[in-house]
Amino acid sequence: MNVPNPVASALTTVGRLSFLTSQGLVAVLSPPWELRTWINEMEQIGVRSLGVAAVTTVFTGMVLALQTAYSLPALGVKYYIGTVVAKSVVRELGPVLTALIVGGRIGAGITAELGTMRVTDQVDALRSMAADPIKKLVAPKIVATLVMLPALTAVGLFLGILGGLLVAVFQLQLTPGFYINDVLNSLTLEDFFSGLGKSFFFSYFITVIACHNGLHARGGADGVGRATTNTVVMSAIMVLISDFFLTKLFYLIG
């Protein structure tokens, strides 16, 4: 039976992603570990993305607080702004928006780097010197993303709640103590584990897709550009689709 080309292409991509995942995990767990390279990747991927994550989550919290208070005044939602902002940011908006914005930056950077190395034959040069490209190039990026994206998400959750506090105090005339008390009474450990747990899955999708597209880039600079675009699109789609299923999973576990 002939398989349609789009289906065959999708199945091939899934197979390659699965194979790259197994290779990457083996490379991460197998010594020797190049800790200096890992730390450099963490700085490149995480520290340099802090500003983007901060701006995204702070203004998300501010907009959420403002829209909620002004859209539903008759229900007295103004006095539950802390609950609305905290639950929304910690469980959904914080992890998802951080993965979309920061993940787009991370994924595009990884694909551009590996794609350039691929089309200029640097990856083949590594193989000719008996060096494993997965160990040298992919494993550090997997470790760095799995560590730094959840860390950025944790910072983003705090900043999102802080953004809601600024609007509650200066725009809605609530006291800081009232807002903070509402936040503390509404949030549970389950909320934090749900939000941070999602970020680990998002990290995996972003890194594996970015490394796969970079290592399979073809056609010079134009091919690298197409691979980078595909990474941003595919990563965003996977984050949004997986968020639905992860939300159901965490609610079932909870």
> Helices 94-119 and 35-45 meet at what angle, rounded to 10?
120
> Helices 139-170 and 81-88 meet at what angle, rounded to 10?
170
Cα–Cα distance list, 4 to 1, 9, 10 (Å): 10, 9, 10
Predicted TM-score (pTM) of this structure: 0.88
Count CB neighbours of 111 within 10 A.
30
At residue 1, the pLDDT reads: 46
Name the amino acid, one letter, at 156: G
Name the amino acid, one letter, at 91: R
CA–CA distance, 248 with 254 (Å, rounded to integer): 10
Alpha helices, DSSP H, located in 134-219 = 139-170, 176-186, 189-215
Residuewise pLDDT in 10s, the chain (254 residues): 455 577 777 788 888 888 888 988 888 988 888 889 899 999 988 888 899 999 999 999 999 888 887 776 666 666 788 888 899 999 899 999 999 998 889 999 999 999 999 988 888 888 888 788 899 899 999 999 999 999 999 999 999 999 999 988 888 888 889 889 989 998 888 888 999 999 999 999 999 999 999 998 888 888 899 999 999 999 999 999 999 999 999 888 86
Q: For 58, what's the count of Cα atoms within 13 Å in the CB-facing half-sphere?
A: 7
